[in-house]
Amino acid sequence: MKHARAVRLGLLSLICAGGWSVSAQVASAAVQSVNYGNLIASATVATPLDTGDTLFLNTFTTETGALDEKTTFTVGPDVGSFVGRAVWEVGAPPEPRLTGVNIKILDASNMVVADDTFAGLLAGFAHSTFGPGAPLAPGKYTLEATGTGGGSGSSLDISLTFAQAVPEAGTFSMLVAGLGALGFLARRRLMM
């Protein structure tokens, strides 16, 4: 009985230690903001983005015409995936704000590595996402937003939050099998 309790306490301490480690990473997360006042603009984020960091792009302008924004950023060595969201004002006819918005991420050789997916309309705003756990290896990237600005103003917000690589299903299965084996061995020792 004492041995089984020791095994459970040992597993609990491992789980708690992992939780404290994750909390420490999130606590040190940073937000890198880029504010655009024009529909055609570019910027480079100087600080590499690491696990837990967020890149936030904010566009607000009264210009009309082509939207073509390029934001270059670098992803640090611990990053393996990201989650992205975008929202832009579409307004109500006859005065649309932003139309034909397309957001994509290109790698250093200008190959598209991620595209946003339209998620719907809500209260005069269009929403799109980049899938949860979308893969993204360390390196240099460019986020490109295109479309057309019209009406009396344009508003577009994009956020990308970076995370470690999402483990494959096989990795998770191996973890569960390993924990099951530990439980079996602990129970077997109790019966002896």
If pLDDT is split at 50, 70 and 90, which confidence band does 132 have? confident
Which residue, among 86, 19, 87, 25, has the nearest Cα to 53 in the 3D structure?
25
Is the pLDDT at 5 greater than 60? The verdict is: no
More confident residue, 131 or 2: 131
CA 179 to chain centre: 30
Is the pLDDT at 148 greater than 60? The verdict is: yes
Domains in the chain and their CATH numbers? 30-167 (2.60.120.380)
Is the pLDDT at 122 greater than 60? The verdict is: yes
Amino acid in the structure at residue 109? S
Mean per-residue pLDDT, 59-65: 90
Amino acid in the structure at residue 78? D
Mean per-residue pLDDT, 113-134: 88
Which residue, among 56, 14, 16, 54, has the nearest Cα to 35 in the 3D structure?
56
pTM: 0.71
If pLDDT is split at 50, 70 and 90, which confidence band does 181 have? low
- Tell me what the pLDDT averaged over the chain comes to: 78
Is the pLDDT at 183 greater than 50? The verdict is: yes
Name 178's Cβ contacts closer than 8 Å, sequence gap at least 6. none
Is the pLDDT at 23 greater than 80? The verdict is: no
149: which strand partners? 65, 98
Contact present, 61 and 98 (Cβ < 8 Å): no
Return the biggest CA–CA distance within the chain. Answer: 80
Return the minimum-mean-pLDDT range out of 9-18, 21-30, 132-141.
9-18
C-alpha to C-alpha distance for 156 and 161, rounded to whole angstroms: 17
If pLDDT is split at 50, 70 and 90, which confidence band does 192 have? low
